[in-house]
Amino acid sequence: MPKTTRPLTEVEVRNAKPRDKRYKLADGGGLYLEVLPGGGKSWRMKYHFGGKEKRLVFGLWPEVSLKDARDHRTDARKLLVNGQDPSAVKKAAAAISTQDAETFELVAREWQDKFKPKWSPAYADKLLRRLEKDVFPFIGAKPIRDISPPELLALLRRVEARGAPDIARRLLWGCGQIQRYAVATGRAERDVSADLRGALSPIKVKHHASLTDPKDIGALLRAIDEYGGNPQTIYALKLASHLFLRPGELRGLEWSEINFDAAEIRIQAHRMKMREQHIVPLSRQVVALLREIHQLTGGGRFVFPSELTPSRCMSENTVNTALRRLGYTKEEMTGHGFRSLASTRLHEMGYNSDVIERQLSHCERNGVKASYNFAQHLPERRKLMQQWSDYLDGLKTGAKVIPIHGGKAAIE
């Protein structure tokens, strides 16, 4: 007669003690409890499929009770009756479960957590809020590998339709970064955002108001020299024309960032929009201006401290207010416009575009390049900044300045 197996009881399962070697307690129908030397108790099932002996693991007791293990055994035997391998079915279900868990939102939040230390808190918060408002409600719950270009385009066009084409483009960039991260980590096959190039409506770029005619620039420089306002404001206006930093970078300039011996400013990454260190070579004229203002504010932290609170830097409205007092409207000239002024003139004068863009801190957002971009084209930039200051001096005195292609300007 075939040997029969008496079903286990809860008490037997609970009281099973570990031994020097693992052993089994059979429950019948292929189900058994394997007791490990370390004290763990694992539910397993032995079965045959395709002429081979196989095993299933149901989990550890007590997380998986005796009743749960028997239910798993019943399900497995039903699959066998239907000609299916329980192990293969279990692996397929696990793969689907993993794929479903790797949703766009899950990968997006993981991506943001990884890279937000490189961003400003304000930028990181703004990016997450945009994703939560315009992206997650539509594709956030979907496996990232299953998202199609039309689905991504549909949500971006919703943003465009409410009159926010610039935000739509920023979201396209962000979704592309997230998808490339998913590809790199094995959660997606490719970045589908690449298929949407040219699919969004073109937007009209709004440039900061600035002067571009050399005669007008010369008149502005003379007006700054004659301005009767606060000396710090005068120096800020003069340096803005020579350095073409962003307004926040200029007014927040610290004496610790200035190296007179090396004739350069090194602004640390946390103060830069692009979150990487930026080098500004100093012309002879700029060094002279900085030495002059050092006599006024050199005892403190900031080159341009606030008049009311010296522990803080100059107000963001100071330079624009001074320009208004000089008679320039916001449609004619702004503090940020000094950057546009320099960029326009230098490009028209034939300077190397890569050198200009690097000095403007307009750099490609490439993670590998970011480690050395701050010093890129530095010898050429030193020449550029000196020639730019010489060019401004010529405009201010009213000399005739003749642009020469190749990065030089002659003054008659």
* 45 contacts 76 by C-beta, under 8 angstroms: yes
Task: Count CB neighbours of 57 within 10 A.
Answer: 14
The type of residue at 217 is I
Residue 48 known to be catalytic: no
Of 70, 242, 246, 381, the catalytic one is 246
Environment class of residue 180 by beta-carbon count within 10 Å: exposed (0-12), middle (13-18) or buried (19+)?
Answer: middle
Q: Which two tokens stand for residue 45?
A: 């099932």
Catalytic residue among 238, 251, 339, 381: 339
> How many angstroms separate the most distant Cα atoms in the chain?
118
Q: Is 336 a catalytic residue?
A: yes
| CA distances to 214, 247, 289, 305, 314 from 236, in Å | 21, 10, 10, 11, 10
Out of 362, 365, 369, 400, pick the active-site residue: 362
Has 312 been annotated as catalytic? no
At which residue do the structure tokens 């702004």 appear?
Answer: 334
51: three-class secondary structure by DSSP: coil
Q: Which of 242, 336, 345, 381 is catalytic?
A: 336
Q: Is 362 a catalytic residue?
A: yes
Contact, 130 vs 173, CB < 8 A? no
**Nearest-angstrom CA–CA distance, 63 and 132:** 36
As a whole number of angstroms, the distance between CA 255 and CA 271 comes to: 14
Alpha-helix runs per DSSP H in 140-283: 149-161, 165-184, 214-226, 231-243, 247-251
Q: Is 339 a catalytic residue?
A: yes
Tell me how crowded residue 33 is: count the other CB atoms within 10 A of its CB: 20
**Is 90 one of the catalytic residues?**
no
Q: Residue 12, Cβ neighbours under 10 Å: how many?
A: 14
Which is catalytic among the residues 6, 21, 67, 372? 372
Instruction: Tell me which residue has tokens 């000396």.
Output: 231
Contact 345, 241 (CB under 8 A): no
Q: Where are the alpha helices (DSSP H) in 201-264?
A: 214-226, 231-243, 247-251
Active-site annotation holder among 273, 284, 369, 400: 273
**Active-site residue list:** 246, 273, 336, 339, 362, 372
